[in-house]
Amino acid sequence: MNIKELMNTQAGWGMTVLRIPIGIIFIAHGLPKFGLLGGRGLEGTAGFLESLGLPLPLLMAWLVALAETVGGALIVAGFQTRLAAFTTAIAMFVAIFWVHFDNGLTGQGGYQWALALFAASVALVLDGAGKASMDRFLAKV
């Protein structure tokens, strides 16, 4: 698969409408992991991940912070959307099963929000960025 095929999207306006708020939400969740917007930063995030028993917590903190922040920004821009959404889907998959699953779907700390973000990310991986996107423009160049 070449880069144009990866960026090509036949999706309509629906994916554009989905993509922009989903990307903003990921950015808003990623920035605190870097210590912005009142967040606990990478060390705090790593401590939380370590308390959950995740291996290599500082590396995992970096990966999730980058996936959410940079991935979210790329999703908003509609640039390399499938790749960015793949990283956010992985982050949400881990969040569902490692962080929230024991709390149930709708209970306190449940996984409903992470599941919705996972589903949106997978939809973007499958269908691409939609009509108003850098991906669509660059795939035609």
Contact 17, 129 (CB under 8 A): no
User: Any idea where the domains of the chain sit in the sequence?
Assistant: 3-140
**Is residue 89 within 8 Å of 119, Cβ to Cβ?**
no
Spatial distance between the Cα atoms of 109 and 83, rounded to a whole number of angstroms: 28
Distance CA 112, CA 101 (A): 9
pLDDT digits (tens, 9 = 90+) for 75-123: 999 999 999 999 999 999 999 999 999 999 998 999 999 999 999 999 9
Q: What is the pLDDT of residues 122-133, one digit of tens each?
A: 999 999 999 899
The whole-angstrom separation of Cα 56 and Cα 75 is 27
